[in-house]
């Protein structure tokens, strides 16, 4: 679809749809924010591909805000794209990758899910495809259309299976958490956490690295450039380890080039460094989460093995059931621990609570199987 009028006719049809499939193609290799290059839509009896390079996507907000269920696969980045392009995200969401996790598949690709559910092999795309180039080749359009052409049928099959196992609401709840997850522009004050070498720094060096990483993030947003185009991670670490006070000292830092030494940029960097040295970040504000009580650390390894077995028995993706971070959050007593609420609390959280409180025990049941059972408190003779 290459005209606003044509897109308006698609929106008119979609107003009455109970559900619709949606996918996007986008690029962000040379920008901070993703740039949408194509939007694929499918509904009962219809399919359309919208060219956002010539069509205004803003009117699609009406459909996203409507009652129809938006069906996407691995939707997190698509939701970010939609929020930028349309100013909103779907009010109701089903992510088929999430739903498949409750049917025993571990974060399946779209192609793997189609092959398992429908016996269909999707056309392959070149991972280096430039979706912003026009005109798009017929093979590119065929690939893009295949992402949504049968997605509603896949979703219906997953719904039937999950309703039969009593897990459909679990899938919807998980998709709602995904829908509400914060995305888009990152918090500049947290940018340092994504640089591995910075996390090992201490004292004033970490304060400087944190300040410079935040400056880089803000500048990348303003210029809509990838952060690496503004300043490399290596340069941030170098500045933190040897905080410069002059342009000459800046020139001596590895990872900096002429782009970073122009008068305006050099002055900004030096001001950021000076301010960070004069006003260091309190350790309590930039430290990692509290460490798990040493006495509970063995429980993480033990329970992780039980979780893996439970996930296999229940045919649920282990990452959906409980991650190691989830276990540690529960054992620390974090207020937002994922295992303390909803269906996970019943299946995982409460049994773990009983285990660490001594009310239950994990035992081998033969053939390498673990069983969580009530604890008798009776020691074996001679032990």
Among residues 51, 117, 147, 317, which one is catalytic?
Answer: 147
Q: Clarify whether 23 is annotated catalytic.
A: yes
Extended strands (E) in 3-73: 19-27, 35-43, 46-50, 69-72
% of the chain exceeding 90 in pLDDT: 75
Among residues 20, 32, 51, 78, which one is catalytic?
Answer: 78
- Among 28-37, 151-160, 244-253, 263-272, top mean pLDDT goes to 151-160
Tens digit of each residue's pLDDT (9 = 90 or more) over 240-288:
999 999 999 998 998 887 777 787 899 999 999 999 999 888 776 666 6
**Picking from 150-159, 204-213, 282-291, which range would have the lowest pLDDT averaged per residue?**
282-291
User: SS3 letters for 141-182?
Assistant: HHHHHHHHHCHHHHHHHHHHHHHHHCCHHHHHHHHHHHHHCC
Q: Clarify whether 147 is annotated catalytic.
A: yes
pLDDT over 60 (residue 362): yes
197 neighbors 233 (Cβ within 8 angstroms): yes
* Average pLDDT value over all residues in the chain: 92
Q: What is the separation of C-alpha 346 from the centre of its chain, rounded to a whole number of angstroms?
A: 25
315 neighbors 103 (Cβ within 8 angstroms): yes
Structure token digits, residue 95 = 């992510």
Question: Would you state the CATH architecture of domain 294-374?
Answer: Orthogonal Bundle (1.10)
Contacts of 238 (CB under 8 A, 6+ apart): 253, 254, 255, 256
User: Under CATH, which number does the domain 4-180 receive?
Assistant: 3.30.420.10
Strand, helix or coil for residue 36: strand
Q: Which CATH class is domain 188-286?
A: mainly alpha
Among residues 117, 143, 317, 326, which one is catalytic?
Answer: 143
How is the chain split into domains, by residue range?
4-180, 188-286, 294-374
Higher pLDDT, 207 or 375: 207
Among residues 20, 23, 80, 328, which one is catalytic?
Answer: 23
Extended strands (E) in the chain: 19-27, 35-43, 46-50, 69-72, 93-95, 360-364, 370-374
Q: What is the mean pLDDT of the segment spanning 315-328?
A: 94
**Same-fold call for 4-180 versus 294-374:** no
Q: Clarify whether 143 is annotated catalytic.
A: yes
**Picking from 207-221, 266-280, 368-382, which range would have the lowest pLDDT averaged per residue?**
368-382
- In whole angstroms, what is the distance from residue 296 CA to residue 20 CA? 47
Strands 93-95 and 35-43: unpaired
Exposed (0-12), middle (13-18) or buried (19+): which is 234, by Cβ within 10 Å?
Answer: middle
318 neighbors 106 (Cβ within 8 angstroms): yes
pLDDT over 60 (residue 78): yes
pLDDT value of position 288: 61
């Amino acid at each position: 679809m290459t005209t606003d009028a044509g897109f308006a006719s698609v929106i008119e049809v979609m107003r009455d749809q109970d559900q619709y499939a949606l996918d996007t193609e986008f690029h962000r290799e040379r920008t901070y924010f993703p740039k949408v290059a194509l939007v694929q839509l499918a509904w009962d009896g219809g399919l359309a591909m919208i060219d956002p390079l010539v069509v205004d996507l803003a009117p699609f907000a009406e459909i996203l805000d409507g009652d129809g269920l938006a069906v996407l696969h691995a939707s997190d980045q698509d939701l970010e794209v939609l929020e930028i392009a349309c100013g909103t995200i779907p009010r109701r969401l089903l992510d088929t990758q999430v739903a498949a996790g409750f049917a025993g598949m571990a974060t399946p690709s779209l192609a793997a899910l189609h092959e398992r559910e429908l016996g269909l092999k999707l056309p392959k795309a070149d991972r280096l495809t430039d979706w912003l180039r026009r005109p798009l080749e017929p093979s590119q359009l065929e690939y893009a259309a295949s992402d949504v052409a049968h997605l509603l049928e896949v979703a219906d099959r997953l719904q039937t299976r999950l309703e039969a196992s009593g897990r459909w609401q679990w899938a919807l709840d998980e998709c709602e958490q995904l829908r509400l997850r914060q995305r888009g522009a990152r918090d500049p004050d947290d940018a340092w956490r994504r640089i591995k070498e910075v996390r090992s720094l201490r004292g004033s060096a970490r304060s400087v690295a944190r300040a410079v990483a935040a400056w880089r993030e803000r500048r990348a947003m303003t210029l809509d450039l990838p952060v690496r185009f503004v300043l490399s991670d290596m340069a941030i670490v170098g500045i933190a380890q040897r905080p410069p006070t002059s342009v000459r000292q800046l020139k001596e830092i590895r990872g900096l080039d002429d782009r970073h030494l122009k008068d305006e940029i050099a002055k900004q960097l030096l001001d950021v460094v000076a301010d960070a040295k004069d006003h260091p970040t309190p350790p309590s504000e930039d430290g990692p989460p509290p460490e798990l009580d040493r006495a509970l650390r063995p429980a993480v390894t033990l329970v992780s093995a039980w979780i893996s077995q439970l996930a296999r028995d229940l045919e649920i993706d282990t990452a959906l059931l409980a991650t190691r971070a989830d276990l540690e959050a529960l054992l620390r007593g974090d207020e937002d621990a994922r295992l303390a609420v909803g269906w996970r609390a019943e299946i995982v959280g409460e049994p773990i609570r009983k285990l660490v409180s001594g009310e239950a025990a994990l035992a081998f049941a033969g053939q390498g199987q673990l069983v969580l059972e009530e604890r008798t408190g009776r020691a074996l003779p001679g032990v």
